[in-house]
């Protein structure tokens, strides 16, 4: 090995290995989250960083690593902040859906008050834990993953509540048309569903409205006369 090469290697381990290690970490961070990091600058920075990291003699380019790492980290932080905001909004919506469902059950004087309150309290704690994860986690994939987990929790809690509260329909049940139930919802009354989010919200609200009618002893007529 030439004297100049030996000097570069010694200088690397003395002064630059920390930069190199940070470059490896940033490249791993990008590769693990590339699907959520579409920014062209971050993609370009990752490409340049990869060339340096994989070079058999990167010594002359190591001074470029901090700037490339900073570009990747800034894009990651931007994506993380956006994911936190969106996930918190989704979790709070699921939490409110459960709270509204509990309020409806208690408003009609359901006899299973203690059981309903116990389920609601446990659900509240679980939603708070999910929100804490959104706020505290620095893992982009983990923050995004709470959204389907929160939805699963909300559906599970509502099914659990309905399993202990739904009453059989009496023989002399009031008959309510399906169209009336649709019109009783806020979105159904507006008459238009323009986005997937509108559809999801409408289906959740319609589900609650139909079950509320059944709990009151009504029968739902699906076809208009």
**Do 78 and 185 contact (CB within 8 A), yes or no?**
no
User: Which candidate, 38, 128, 194, 78, places its Cα nearest to that of 86?
Assistant: 78
147 contacts 200 by C-beta, under 8 angstroms: no
Q: What is the pLDDT of residue 29?
A: 92
Averaged pLDDT in 10-residue chunks for the chain of 225 residues: 45 65 92 89 93 85 90 94 95 94 81 86 95 94 94 93 66 70 68 74 80 78 67
Task: For residue 15, give the DSSP letter.
Answer: I
Full-model pTM? 0.62
């Amino acid at each position: 090995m030439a004297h100049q090469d030996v000097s570069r290697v010694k200088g690397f381990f003395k002064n630059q290995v920390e930069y190199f290690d940070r470059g490896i970490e940033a490249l791993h961070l990008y590769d693990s989250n590339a699907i959520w990091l579409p920014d062209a600058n971050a993609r370009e920075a990752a490409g340049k960083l990869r060339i340096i990291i994989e070079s058999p003699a990167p010594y002359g380019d190591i001074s470029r690593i901090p700037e490339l790492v900073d570009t990747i980290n800034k894009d990651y932080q931007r994506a993380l902040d956006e994911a936190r905001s969106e996930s918190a909004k989704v979790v709070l919506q699921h939490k409110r859906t459960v709270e509204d469902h509990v309020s409806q059950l208690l408003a009609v004087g359901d006899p299973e008050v203690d059981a309903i309150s116990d389920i609601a309290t446990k659900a509240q704690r679980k939603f708070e834990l999910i929100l804490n994860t959104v706020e505290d986690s620095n893992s982009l994939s983990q923050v995004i993953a709470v959204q389907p987990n929160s939805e699963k929790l909300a559906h599970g809690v509502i099914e659990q509540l309905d399993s202990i509260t739904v009453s059989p329909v009496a023989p002399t049940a009031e008959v309510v048309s399906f169209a009336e139930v649709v019109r009783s919802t806020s979105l159904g009354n507006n008459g238009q569903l323009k986005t997937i989010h509108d559809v999801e919200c409408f289906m959740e609200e319609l589900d609650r409205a139909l079950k509320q009618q059944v709990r009151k002893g009504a029968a739902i007529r699906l076809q208009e006369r």
